[in-house]
Structure 1
Amino acid sequence: MKINLAALQIASVLALGGCTVLPPQPAPAPRGGTATPAPKPQLPAPPPRPAPPQPQAPRADAANWRDLPQTPGSWTYSAESSGSAVRFGQPGAGPLLAIRCDRTRPAIIVQRAGFGTGTVPATITTSSTLRRLTATPTASAAQNAAVAFEITFAVRDPLLDAIAFSRGRFMLEMGGAQTLVLPVWSEVGRVIEDCR
């Protein structure tokens, strides 16, 4: 019985040894050539990267708009039949911008020359406010000719006060025209008050 027990133990150890899993062996290379490697699993292609943003001219909402150079020129106040007006420009040249009080509407009109046949986007930035607006042409323009564009405000619009009390300057951007960085002088506030 002892012999049978020892034989049984040896048989069980041999049986367990037969349960060992061996890794699969590569197939032998065919004679006279090289073995072809097993195909690698294909990973999905990464999505295309978006194009890097193109550099743009400084925008009104950029933190550094106050560092832009001021547009050369000065303000000139004048009385008109329908109200008063202030114009910004250099002596001997046409105005770059006009702010008019029109008591017949009543309204404050910001007028700027530009190019285009329809409405264009505009932005006015002050030290306290940034507002996106729409400028409307006052007449049809001949091909490649400048035309006056207007932005009309109610006389109590808070943006007018933001312009009059802006810290030293305000900015006007309008599609089809040069960006203007304008000084805040008392003449601007006077026209606004004339309409109220």
Structure 2
Amino acid sequence: MTASTTASTMVRAAAALGGLLFLANCVGAPSPAPEQRPAPPPPATPAPAPVAKDWRDWPVARGDWSYRAIDGGTLASFGEPGRTALLAIRCELATRRLHVARATASATRPGDQMTVRTSFGDYQWPVSDIPTLSSPEKGSTAPFAIAIRAGNDAALDRIAFSRGRFAIEAPGATPLSVPAWAEVSRVIEDCRG
């Protein structure tokens, strides 16, 4: 190997090394890892729609009434199939008492009142201290506001004969307007014998 060959090999090697260094400088420094942002919070539950002052202007809730015999009495329940009932009226035959139960978001407290609105007038009923009611539709228990009435309470007739609908307001639940169908009358009559 001659001196000129060695020099030219060294020049090529230097050029190749210089090219590599040049390319290394062209590639920027590694970018930092993207900042981990926390997941956005779940959307807020929308506030319930404002309720009209006159209960007769409230929309009738979606669902149907059903009637069936149960141990010790009969039951009319209102709601959508396969879901916990929104409202149930149960006749306890042994005592001739009716339990009017409205599904709520939380347990009721002593002194709470249930308001029943019919085309014949409004009624305030004290809420019982019974905290839950079995929900056979879902096989679970859920909190209900429950008012217990004697089978001969005249307000029950006013529910049965209310023009097309009646409404229930209970603590921890949105106001509910339901159709006054025959299932309601049937349970009331069951408790009167």
Matching of residue 129 in structure 1 with residue 124 in structure 2: no
Q: Which residue of 1 aligns with 2:65?
A: 75
Aligned partner letter, 1:175: P
Question: Aligned-pair distance for 1:65?
Answer: 1.5
Number of equivalent positions:
134
What's the Cα RMSD here?
Answer: 2.0
Look up the SS of the partner of 1:104 in the other structure: coil
Gaps of 5+ in 1: 1-56
Matching of residue 176 in structure 1 with residue 172 in structure 2: yes
Question: Aligned-pair distance for 1:136?
Answer: 2.3
Look up the SS of the partner of 2:163 in the other structure: coil
Question: Aligned-pair distance for 1:58?
Answer: 4.0
In 2: Cα distance, 1:109 partner to 1:116 partner: 16
Question: Aligned-pair distance for 1:146?
Answer: 5.1
Percent identity between the aligned chains?
A: 41
Asked whether the equivalents of residues 138 and 147 of structure 1 are also in contact (C-alpha less than 8 Å), the reply is: no
| Cα distance, 1:178–1:146 mapped onto 2, change above 3 Å | farther
Of structures 1 and 2, the larger Rg is shown by 1
Larger RCO, structures 1/2 (Cα 8 Å, 6+ apart): 2
What's the TM-score, normalizing by structure 1? 0.63
Matching of residue 153 in structure 1 with residue 149 in structure 2: yes
Asked whether the equivalents of residues 137 and 148 of structure 1 are also in contact (C-alpha less than 8 Å), the reply is: no
In 1: Cα distance, 2:174 partner to 2:142 partner: 12
Look up the SS of the partner of 2:128 in the other structure: strand
For residue 188 of structure 2, the aligned residue among 183, 192, 195 is 192
Q: Runs of 4+ in structure 1 displaced over 2 angstroms? A: none
Question: Aligned-pair distance for 1:148?
Answer: 2.4
What's the TM-score, normalizing by structure 2? 0.64
Question: Aligned-pair distance for 1:134?
Answer: 1.8
